[in-house]
């Protein structure tokens, strides 16, 4: 059996390597053509381009790993069927479950590795890439194409001010749903909630609208509350530049960083449901390689007359369906229709059920 396991792993590894290189090159070429006009318009130097794409490669690898795992597993077992090796293995008394075991272990290893790779390598390089894009590549872009909307921004300034922002438009410097918390020795002494806040550069203050101000004593009891639908100028001890520096998406925040920020925000009464969805998503997404392989293996042997072309097309359709369900689950979680855990794991649960059904009904 060790020789058979080695043979399957060797076939999978060869296909995985070639497919991975192919998809990374495709991602690289597509990105070049997509940004070519911006490179030319901004006169980006070769050194900046090299730094930009060196920082981009980890994310390209991370994004292509799941589809590469699916294609490699489908082609590995599909070619075994085409070459009649599958019939030989079955005649020897080997089941689908036993033959799938070595690649499933590979999928588990890749899923665990993807989590650490994403949180230690990809996030670090994404920050570098986004800084280079903002500084050298996006500076002459039109407003319509600029990354002007930040969502789910949260940061702590000077240890005394905790700011949570649902949406920020840096073009017109407008905040939607602001939570501003002032701390004293770790205790909340004031909280300001505003539906809309606009930066006034002349006064260097925020014009808040439809807001409430609550103050608390040392015991945590509310001692004063003020609400207003009118516009008021307030000094909130942060400026738009602070948001621009901190306003990174979840792709730039590691699992532990996000987890700690959620604990801090939740302890101060901030609604963290969107960030909790993103937190669970970081774990759920890392298991996509294992789940995709779990579905791909029985798909490749489900029918004896399945061709490799059909298997390749089925692989792409499976990935597309997975991504659609993944985004659908996230949307339900952001809207509060599902718990953060179920929202992040929505597509994984469906594909685990699908993979189990395929395993039970595929040709053993």
Q: What is the dihedral of CA 295, 300, 305, 310, to 10 degrees?
A: 90
- Burial (0-12, 13-18, 19+ Cβ within 10 Å), 94: middle
Q: Please give the pLDDT value at position 120.
A: 87
User: pLDDT 10s digit of each residue in the chain, 364 long?
Assistant: 688 888 899 999 999 999 999 999 999 999 999 888 888 888 888 999 999 999 999 999 988 888 898 888 888 888 888 888 877 887 777 888 888 899 999 999 999 999 999 888 998 898 888 888 877 876 554 444 445 788 888 777 777 888 889 899 888 899 999 999 998 887 889 999 999 999 999 989 999 999 999 999 887 788 889 898 888 999 998 888 778 756 555 666 788 888 887 776 676 566 778 888 988 998 998 898 899 888 888 877 765 555 666 666 776 787 888 888 988 998 999 888 999 999 999 999 999 998 888 888 875 5
DSSP labels, 23-61: HHHHHHHHHHHHHHHHHHHTT--HHHHHHHHHHHHHHHH
Distance CA(102)–CA(293), nearest Å, equals 11
**What pairing do the DSSP bridges indicate for beta strands 174-184 and 187-200?**
antiparallel
Give the pTM. 0.68
Helix %, strand %, coil % of the chain (to 5): 65, 20, 20
């Amino acid at each position: 059996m060790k020789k058979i396991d080695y043979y399957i792993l060797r076939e999978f590894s060869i296909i995985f390597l070639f497919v991975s290189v192919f998809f990374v090159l495709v991602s690289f070429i597509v990105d070049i053509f997509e940004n070519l006009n911006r490179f030319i318009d901004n006169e980006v130097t070769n050194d900046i381009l090299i730094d930009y794409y060196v920082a981009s490669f980890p994310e390209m690898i991370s994004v292509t790993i799941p589809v590469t795992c699916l294609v490699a597993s489908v082609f590995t077992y599909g070619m075994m069927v085409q070459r009649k090796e599958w019939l030989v293995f079955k005649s020897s008394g080997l089941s689908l479950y036993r033959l799938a075991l070595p690649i499933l272990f590979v999928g588990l290893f890749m899923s665990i590795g993807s989590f650490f790779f994403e949180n230690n390598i990809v996030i670090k390089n994404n920050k570098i890439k986004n800084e280079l894009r903002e500084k050298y590549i996006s500076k002459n872009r039109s407003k319509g194409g600029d990354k002007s909307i930040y969502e789910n921004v949260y940061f702590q300034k000077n240890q005394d001010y905790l700011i949570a922002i649902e949406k920020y438009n840096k073009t017109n410097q407008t905040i939607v749903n602001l939570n501003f918390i002032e701390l004293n020795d770790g205790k909340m002494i004031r909280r300001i909630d505003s539906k809309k806040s606009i930066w006034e550069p002349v006064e260097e203050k925020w014009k808040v609208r439809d807001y409430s101000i609550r103050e608390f004593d040392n015991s945590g009891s509310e001692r004063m509350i003020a609400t207003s639908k009118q516009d008021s100028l307030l000094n909130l001890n942060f400026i738009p530049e602070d948001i621009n520096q901190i306003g990174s998406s979840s792709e730039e925040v590691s699992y532990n960083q996000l987890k700690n920020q959620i604990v801090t925000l939740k302890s101060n009464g901030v609604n963290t449901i969107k960030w909790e969805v993103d937190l669970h998503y970081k774990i759920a997404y890392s298991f996509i390689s294992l789940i995709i392989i779990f579905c791909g293996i029985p798909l490749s042997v489900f029918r004896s007359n399945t061709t490799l072309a059909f298997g390749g097309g089925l692989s792409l359709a499976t990935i597309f369906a997975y991504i659609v369900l993944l985004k659908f689950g996230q949307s339900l979680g952001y809207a509060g229709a599902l718990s953060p855990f179920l929202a992040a794991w929505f597509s994984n649960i469906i594909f685990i059920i699908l993979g189990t059904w395929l395993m039970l009904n595929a040709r053993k």
